[in-house]
A and B are shown apart, each in its own frame.
Chain A
Amino acid sequence: MSLENTGVAHEEEHATMSKGRIWKVFFILLAITVVEFIIALGVPETVMPHLIRNSIYVILTLFKAYYIVAFFMHLKFEKYALKAGILLSLIFIIYFIVLLLIEGNYLNSHLTI
């Protein structure tokens, strides 16, 4: 791949991430974190049970991860092949999570430590 080539492709690609957009993503990340804080500190256990609370945390975290990877790391504007190559590999991590949490749960109900 010649350098001139990258230079040209480069300018087209990156017109998408302006200063305004950077700050917009920042405020989204900040807002999500503030919501997490409000849930953690302001909402009593009786109103929101543990399971729902934790599910909300995980969903909000995934939203934050999306904004960081898509915009800050610029993956949203890359070629489909690159996006697919990176994101499909995460299937292994999801599989690993499911596998070990089931295992942990099993130990919880079968061991007394």
Chain B
Amino acid sequence: MDTTAQLDEVKTTPWSGGRSPFSVEYGKLMMWFFLLSDAFTFSAFLVYYGAQRFSKMTWPDPDIVFQSIPGVTDHGAPLVFVGLMTFILIMSSVTMVLAVEAGHRNKKKEVIWWMIATIIGGLMFLGCQALEWTHLHHEGFWWGTIPGAEVLKELGSDAVSTQQFANLFFTITGFHGFHVFTGVVINIIILLMTATGVFERRGHYLMIEKVGLYWHFVDLVWVFVFTFFYLV
């Protein structure tokens, strides 16, 4: 066999060109790459938080910092409110997968309803976070601000570590909340595109999968934030 004949032979292995070796659509692959870079950003924040916490002799007791349920009780209920927030976010992740699943069957109506449910979940989470931030702000926590000496005694931590805690809490949950917010905005755009029949005409609902990836990533980050701020 001469060289020309060899070149003419059709190659079919995944890496021989002509198609994606990953068998995913271009946009979806790019979403994965973006999420990977975002994972590095969040890791950098959380790892810094871990390093700070390891380096300090004392640290505010999370069961005391987060013991209120806004609008219900001011103390004595650790983890309850954040538990609700976690549940809301996991739930909205489920409705997102259900939207993706409906998209595979090309059921426009179902996609619309599941997307609406997902958006409502996202807004509820943001509402809860706003309530929690407001509560902590009233307690005296903010970037560069901490409560007085009596509260610190109750928390069991000194001023430096409490300040680090406050800064990192607002920065990390704020950055996460910003992701939830952009996720909700993107979900609304996709909902409108679904409703106006853009994907129907396109013949597939791959866009739902791409925003779905982003939305699940936000949920994934929350799982880690929840563990390292509220449980540990």
Contact = CB atoms under 8 A, between A and B. Distances in A.
Contacts of A105: 54-55
B230 to A, nearest CB: 8
Contacts of B54: 101, 104-105, 107-108
A59 to B, nearest CB: 10
A93 B37 CA distance: 11
A17 to B, nearest CB: 6
Contacts of A14: 104
Nearest to B18: A1
Given A68-B220, A73-B213, A104-B52, A57 B232 contact: yes
Contacts of B157: none
Interface residues of A, number: 58
A111 to B, nearest CB: 7
A6 interface: yes
B55 A111 contact: yes
A43 B43 CA distance: 29
A79 B204 contact: no
Contacts of B147: none
B100 to A, nearest CB: 8
B50 A65 contact: no
A96 B57 contact: no
B14 A72 contact: no
Given A33-B90, A92-B40, A93-B43, A65 B79 contact: no
B219 A22 contact: no
Contacts of A108: 54-57
Contacts of A78: 22-24
Interface in A1-58: 1, 3, 5-7, 9-11, 13-14, 17-19, 22-23, 26, 29-30, 33, 36-37, 40-41, 54, 57-58
B24 A26 contact: no
Contact of A82 (B32, B40, B98): B32
Nearest to A13: B23
A72 B216 contact: yes
Contacts of A30: 87, 90
A57 B228 CA distance: 9
Contact of A79 (B21, B47, B220): B21
B220 A89 contact: no
Contact of B104 (A11, A37, A58): A11
Contacts of B23: 9, 13, 78-79, 82
Contacts of A6: 24-25, 204, 206
B94 A22 contact: yes
B97 to A, nearest CB: 5
A68 B56 CA distance: 33
Contacts of B36: 86, 89
B45 to A, nearest CB: 11
Contacts of A26: 90-91, 94
Q: Which 3 A-B pairs have the closest CB atoms?
A: A104-B54, A107-B55, A104-B51
